[in-house]
Amino acid sequence: MSRSNRQLHLNAFLWGVGQHEAAWRHPLTTASDVLNVAHYQNLGRIAERGKLDSLFFADALQVDSRIKHNSLFLLDPVTLLSAIAVATERIGLIGTASTTYSDPYTTARRFATLDHISGGRAGWNIVTGHQPEEAANFGLDALPTHSERYERGAEFIDVALELWDSWEDDALRLDVESGVFADPDKLHPIDHDGAHFRVRGPLSSPRSLQGRPLLVQAGSSETGKDFAARYAEAVFTAQYTLEQGQEFYRDLKARVVKAGRSADELKILPGFYPFIADTEEEARALEQSFNDLKSTEFALEQLSRIVGVELDEDSLDFPLPALPSVEDFDGQKSRLQLVQDLAGDGKHTVRELIGLLAGGRGHRTIVGTPEQVADEIELWFTERAADGFNVMPPYLPGGLEDFVDRVVPILQQRGLFRTEYTATTLRGHFGLADAGSRFATAQATA
């Protein structure tokens, strides 16, 4: 494995009391913490202790039948991250918001506010939505098609970018003696009139310390990868093998360059799901103690949603039935492809598949010692399958503490990860310059 001056980027992907679907039932967690803001603030401080780049909260805008056994989306992520912001100092804060079920002005303002509250540590995970129940909550008769969601999403981001740039850097004056709060000549309407949105602007919040929030995206379909190449500065993805990770990495970096950007402007962070213990045997026993608590009903419903085919207990001891083609599927295309690859033309029964997907949901899973976990991270990083990882602790806070206190020091000793923060903003953590104002650029070239 070759080394270079590259540095890992590590993000903590947090859900309730853990990524494993049965984490809330396990004696290593406290179920009531799913609604406890102090719990989430503590997670932020743990991640910050490890000098991680950021925290990430996913989101969904519906309740479905799986609520009987689990729900991971009980709190609005941006509101929750605002509470974490005041309990931390350096860790980045990435929240999810949909471009299908919101409007650009409100979304831009929410993330600008988080950016100001946190001192420039905000990031927006851009999703287009894929659940029919979400559409029903917003007055739609059906889920818009995959292409329609991405077309709206692209215009949505264009508008948000214009809004974040609608104040010049020095527009907010706060001149007590003259009585000038802001210079109105340095606030600019955007006058956007497009296929999906009409927005006058300017935004009601000025530019932040990092210029604007970091843009994050998680789609891995062909359309999603083109979308990421155009807009994203970090991509969360699910790749199960090193070879799959390398292929995705090469493909997406090439698309970024084709879109006219530097390959280094986008960081690729596959999901990484670790069970950590003193020995591999103990780590496997720990994993099994969680798997013993999983609900077969929940797992079948979750897999049914991923593949677009209704599965029941009669399906358990057989391979997956014929699945929709990825091209014609309007759900999460990349996740359907991942399960098809994992299923391996009948290599696994449905029962075996739901076991493999119980926590990592198709993300890279490693069960072993801190050294084994660090070895796997180093392999993927040095072999250009990742710029870092979206770490998915199976239970919280213990799984995050194990990673921060036992794996991160090994990565630091190997020279792969920072020992101290060198930046104050999220964009800085990712090695990106603060987003400059188009007005400053125009003035500099005038």
319, 324, 385, 418, 422 from 239: Cα distances, Å: 21, 20, 9, 25, 30
Structural domain ending residue among the three candidates 357, 392, 409: 357
Residue 247, domain member (yes or no): yes
H, E, C per residue of 165-204: CCECCCCEEEECCCCEEECHHHECCCCEECCCCEECCCCC
Give the burial string for 410-438 (b: 16+ CB within 10 Å, else e): bbbeeebbbeeeebebbbbbbbbebbebe
In a domain, 286, yes or no: no
Task: Identify whether 107 is part of a domain.
Answer: yes
pTM of the model: 0.89
Answer yes or no: do 112 and 188 share one domain.
yes
Residue 354, pLDDT score: 74
- How far apart are alpha carbons 161 and 437 in whole angstroms? 10
Closest CA to 149 of 167, 126, 124: 126
Helices 222-231 and 242-258 pack at an angle, to 10 degrees, of 50
- Angle, alpha carbons 168-174-179 (nearest 5°): 120
**C-alpha distances in angstroms, 96 versus 99, 125, 128, 219, 392?**
10, 4, 10, 13, 16
* C-alpha span between 167 and 187 (Å, rounded): 5
Amino acid identity of residue 426, one-letter, is L
**CA–CA gap between residue 125 and residue 91 (Å, rounded):** 16
Give yes or no: residues 170 and 317 share one domain: no
| Total Cβ atoms within 10 A of residue 188 | 18
- Domain stop point among 327, 357, 387: 357
Q: Which of 305, 340, 357 is the last residue of a domain?
A: 357
Quick one: 321 and 428 in the same domain?
A: no
- Do residues 102 and 234 both lie within one domain? yes
DSSP letter at 261 equals S
The reply to whether 109 and 257 lie within a common domain is yes
Beta strands in 17-161 (DSSP E): 54-57, 92-98, 122-127
Question: Looking at the domain assignment, is residue 289 inside a domain?
Answer: no
160 in a structural domain: yes
- Using CA atoms, how far apart are residues 337 and 346, in angstroms rounded to an integer? 14
Q: Is residue 222 part of a domain?
A: yes
Residue 132 shares a structural domain with residue 246: yes
Same domain, 424 and 337: no
Q: What is the pLDDT of residue 2?
A: 44
Q: Report the C-alpha gap between 147 and 149 in whole angstroms.
A: 5
Q: Residue 185 is part of a domain; what is its CATH number?
A: 3.20.20.30
Distance of alpha carbon 388 from alpha carbon 430, whole angstroms: 10
Gap between the Cα atoms of 67 and 230, Å rounded: 36
Identify whether residues 99 and 198 lie together within a single domain.
Answer: yes
Domain range for 329 is: 295-357
Which helix (H) or strand (E) segment holds residue 11: the answer is strand 9-13
Q: CA 153 to CA 130: how far, in whole Å? A: 13
Same domain, 314 and 397: no
Interhelix angle 242-258/370-382, nearest 10 degrees:
40
What are φ and ψ of residue 256, in 5° steps?
-60, -45
Number of domains in the chain: 2
312 and 169 in one domain? no
Which distant-in-sequence residues (6+ apart) come within 8 Å of 217 by Cβ? 125, 126, 224, 227, 228, 231, 232, 234, 235, 236
Pair 272, 9: CB distance under 8 Å = no
Cα–Cα distance between 59 and 13 in angstroms, integer? 12
- Tell me the C-alpha distance between 175 and 246, whole Å: 54
369-388 as b/e: b if 16+ CB within 10 A: bbebbbbbbbebbeebbbbb
Q: Are residues 148 and 188 in the same domain?
A: yes
* The token pair that represents 321 in the structure block: 């039935």
Residues 24 and 72 in one domain: yes
Residues in the chain: 446
**Per-residue pLDDT tens listing for the chain (446 residues):** 445 589 999 999 999 999 998 999 999 999 999 999 999 999 999 999 999 999 999 999 988 777 877 777 899 999 999 999 999 999 999 999 999 999 999 999 999 999 999 999 999 999 998 788 899 999 999 999 989 999 999 999 999 999 999 999 999 999 999 999 999 999 999 999 999 999 999 999 999 999 999 999 987 788 999 999 999 999 999 888 899 999 999 999 999 999 999 999 999 999 999 999 999 999 999 999 998 898 777 777 777 777 778 887 877 888 888 777 766 676 666 667 767 777 766 677 877 777 666 665 668 899 999 999 999 999 999 999 999 999 999 999 999 999 999 999 999 999 999 999 999 999 999 999 999 888 865 555 55
Q: Looking only at Cα atoms, what is the longest distance across the chain?
A: 77
Whether residue 290 is contained in a domain is answered as: no
Place of tokens 């609604």: 35
Residue 250 lies in a domain: yes
